[in-house]
Structure 1
Amino acid sequence: MSRILILHASVGTGHKTAARALARAFELRGAAQVWCEDALDYGPSIYRQFYVNSYIELSEKAPVLWSYFYERSDRDDTKLTKDLRTLMDRFGVAELDELVDRCRPDAIVCTHFLPVNMLGREKRKGRLPQPLYCIVTDYNGHVFWVNSYADRYFVASPKAAFMLAQRGVHPSIISVTGIPIDPAIAEPKDREITQHKHHIARSPVVTLMGGGIDVDTMRQMTVGLIEEMGEGSLMVVAGRNEELEAALRDLHGTPKVDLRVLGFVDYLDDLVAASDLVVTKAGGLIVSEVMARHTPMVVVEPIPGQEEWNADHIVCAGAGLQVRLPEMVPLLVHNLLADPARLQALREGAQREGQPRAAFTVAEQILHEIS
């Protein structure tokens, strides 16, 4: 019976979501004990604040600067990359070693590069006998994920595998599995039955996800979709963004378009399964979840760097379309809904690309390797 320590970092929600999905998969596959921990909890609070806030400030409020940083740091031989690695080594998660000693896991699984690099240092010094596994949670292979002491990488796509190999990772330790998502998504759901379950009476169904999109942009897209859809149901998910939910509450549908504004819901997967089309940002986890349900996507406003890679992957896979200007979303949605053949082609692309069993695949391979 195996003991598994899963480490993520609370920079956005995707890394934590992947970690929880893996924890569930390990439990379902018989692991004796599974821990799921935020690596940033095991270091100085000032480091955590700096790390999280700098990412948010750059990626959301200064995307051009973030793009420059992302591209400049995606080379292992630059001074910027070396300085950042040194910073992580010196001021990072100092108490992580104590966590490992306390848990005594048989394997350590990381869904963020920060704990990979921190624990890779310990392996280099001969102080970490456990195998160290790295789960890349986007559709690229940025150099920050690369560590000479990682025992295996699990990546989303052949392109990501190629990128890691170009950065010196031996192909024999790269497994293309898809990004781990909630194992429950591997269970099929009928679209019409799911619509009936949630009292969604009108078709087609479009779900607009508000995560990472500012209030004004969301309101603009919602108003435009109500006007352009013609008929159907528009489900707008504000999540935990109470400001966004409040800003949309005064909007109403039409005699032919039902509008439903939702806050945080625990049935997001049902909405994806019930939808003919999903409009969303291009986070690695959410796009993987949508493709696993074979639902076409319109990706809007990708953050420079990893979201651009994710969005490009979706388009190249034929699973969705990308729009950089939110103003164009309503017209694109209208055109897609009016073209069933094109929508079906995107659905088939999502079906080809989706990996609903990715969490199980990763868990099964790791358990096999350490058994």
Structure 2
Amino acid sequence: MPKVLILSASTGGGHNSAANAIKEELVALGCEVSVVDAIESASPILNKIVSEGYEKSAKYVPVTYKAFYKISSGKSRKEDLDVLVRRIIGRKILHLVNDFKPDAIIGTHPFPMMALTRYKEQGTINVPVVSIITDYTAHTCYIQNSVDAYIVGDVDVSYILKNSGIAPEKIHPFGIPINSSFLNTERVNTVKKNLDLDDKFTVLVMGGSFGAGSIKESLMELLSSRYDFQIIVVTGRDVKLKAKLDELVEIMRPKKTVRILGFTKDVPELMTISNVLITKPGGLTTTEAIIKGIPMVIPYYIPGQEAENVDFLLNNGLALKTFKNYPLVTIIEILMDNPERLNEIKERMLKRSKADSSLKTAKLTLDLIESFSNKGQVSDL
């Protein structure tokens, strides 16, 4: 039975989601799989800095996160960061590998890959390493010559990697892995009934797993429209925001149907029910929207990788972005009055949809294990 170690991290929801999606497919193919929050396991202190630092800076002081993202993108800074990460978590990541003795390693966050690089180059680790890039861009942290395969969200990202010196044969534009259950539509009518929604135009507002973005402002703007549509707001884990919005709706008593939800597992159903998604463009949310074919409107985003996700979406006609002369309400009203615009975006999204990335990634991993075995490259760890 092949053994696969998946190294993830809890910075946003995309890394763990991709890890678990791939695990599901590998297990179905007969593998023994261990998913480890690599940064938390190797260094709780670094994990607190990285995970909480990302969440708080992205949510409250995005200019700080933007500055860090930009500085760390430089070649010299990237080399410094490589060394720093290896010093902090390198040996503990190596211990994880030695304890589990995997036949392959998959990483859904760049830091574990950075920590493994030197050991891979030295031959201490002689198993295939697969790196999953969970955004529609590629920060320089992901660029490691010792990685055997890169899984990217779209062919556009392939060019970013190739222009960064990665060999084309290592790059696989399978899409960002998502759980196969996301495609299940059996509960759509149940969710719709539970929320007491009808068949009118529906706008879904989200801000990621921790509720980042100007969700309150977006809701207020939507409620100012004279057009008749219903609104679903998902605040994620932000309990305080949900309480504020519940109070706001109670005070305003709008004529529009408004449903305020906290963390929910019904996002697949909500995307199926809705006509438009107002959100920040995280890698996971973007992937889910493309697969569901729900046009995106972007009024807010976290500087850094999400800004580059916006570039990808706009360049490919997969989303609309608010501007001074195109505020949120104007865009929604345009789309309601011109449904062909919605359909055009939806058709483009469905053409770019890659719902089988998890399975393709699992099969590629098994192929790499077999290839390494045939070459006599796999050693006992």
**Normalising by the residue count of structure 2, what TM-score does the alignment of the two structures yield?**
0.89
Distance change in 2, residues 1:191/1:263 (3 Å): closer
Cross-structure match for 1:172: 169
Distance change in 2, residues 1:301/1:324 (3 Å): farther
Q: Per the alignment, in what secondary structure is the counterpart of residue 278 of structure 2?
A: strand
How far is the alpha carbon of 1:42 from its aligned partner? 2.5
Partner Cα distance (1:325, 1:98) in 2: 53
How far is the alpha carbon of 1:304 from its aligned partner? 1.6
Report the AA paired with residue 298 of structure 1.
V
Q: Per the alignment, in what secondary structure is the counterpart of residue 65 of structure 2?
A: helix
Cross-structure match for 2:378: none
Report the AA paired with residue 156 of structure 1.
G
- Unaligned runs of 5+ residues in structure 1 are none
How far is the alpha carbon of 1:196 from its aligned partner? 5.0
Partner Cα distance (1:256, 1:340) in 2: 23
Partner Cα distance (2:272, 2:325) in 1: 24
Partner Cα distance (1:113, 1:93) in 2: 13
CA contact (8 A) 1:15 1:137 kept: yes
Match of 2:100 among 98, 103, 111: 103
CA contact (8 A) 1:183 1:360 kept: no
Cross-structure match for 2:5: 5
How far is the alpha carbon of 1:213 from its aligned partner? 4.9
Distance change in 2, residues 1:314/1:229 (3 Å): farther
Bigger Cα displacement from structure 2, 88-97 vs 323-332: 323-332
Partner Cα distance (2:239, 2:323) in 1: 25
How far is the alpha carbon of 1:229 from its aligned partner? 6.1
Cross-structure match for 1:84: 81
Partner Cα distance (1:95, 1:229) in 2: 58
| Residues matched between the structures, number | 367
How far is the alpha carbon of 1:10 from its aligned partner? 1.4
How far is the alpha carbon of 1:185 from its aligned partner? 2.7
Q: Per the alignment, in what secondary structure is the counterpart of residue 206 of structure 1?
A: strand
Cross-structure match for 1:257: 256
Q: Per the alignment, in what secondary structure is the counterpart of residue 99 of structure 2?
A: helix
CA contact (8 A) 2:59 2:212 kept: no
CA contact (8 A) 2:195 2:259 kept: no
| 1:312-327 superposed matches below 5 A | 312-323=311-322
Q: Per the alignment, in what secondary structure is the counterpart of residue 172 of structure 2?
A: strand
Cross-structure match for 2:127: 130
CA contact (8 A) 1:179 1:285 kept: yes
CA contact (8 A) 2:211 2:236 kept: no
- C-alpha distance after superposition, 1:154-208 (max 9, x if no partner): 1112221111111111111111111111112344679778745754214111110
- Unaligned runs of 5+ residues in structure 2 are 371-381
CA contact (8 A) 1:26 1:363 kept: yes
Q: Per the alignment, in what secondary structure is the counterpart of residue 95 of structure 1?
A: helix
How far is the alpha carbon of 1:327 from its aligned partner? 9.5
Cross-structure match for 2:227: 230
| 1:133-282 superposed matches below 5 A | 133-187=130-184, 195=192, 199-211=196-208, 213=211, 217-228=214-225, 230-250=227-247, 251=249, 257-282=256-281
Cross-structure match for 1:46: 45
Cross-structure match for 1:16: 16
Partner Cα distance (2:36, 2:90) in 1: 12
Partner Cα distance (2:325, 2:8) in 1: 31
Distance change in 2, residues 1:199/1:314 (3 Å): same
Partner Cα distance (1:337, 1:192) in 2: 23
Bigger Cα displacement from structure 2, 267-276 vs 317-326: 317-326
Distance change in 2, residues 1:116/1:229 (3 Å): farther
Report the AA paired with residue 115 of structure 1.
P
Taking only the aligned residue pairs, the percentage that are identical comes to: 28
Report the AA paired with residue 260 of structure 1.
R
Cross-structure match for 1:354: 353
- C-alpha distance after superposition, 1:80-106 (max 9, x if no partner): 222211111111253222221222221
Cross-structure match for 1:63: 62
CA contact (8 A) 1:107 1:132 kept: yes
Give the superposed CA RMSD.
2.5
Bigger Cα displacement from structure 2, 350-359 vs 142-151: 350-359
Partner Cα distance (1:62, 1:254) in 2: 32
How far is the alpha carbon of 1:33 from its aligned partner? 1.3
Q: Per the alignment, in what secondary structure is the counterpart of residue 35 of structure 2?
A: strand
Q: Per the alignment, in what secondary structure is the counterpart of residue 24 of structure 1?
A: helix
CA contact (8 A) 2:183 2:268 kept: no
Partner Cα distance (1:190, 1:39) in 2: 34
Distance change in 2, residues 1:224/1:108 (3 Å): same
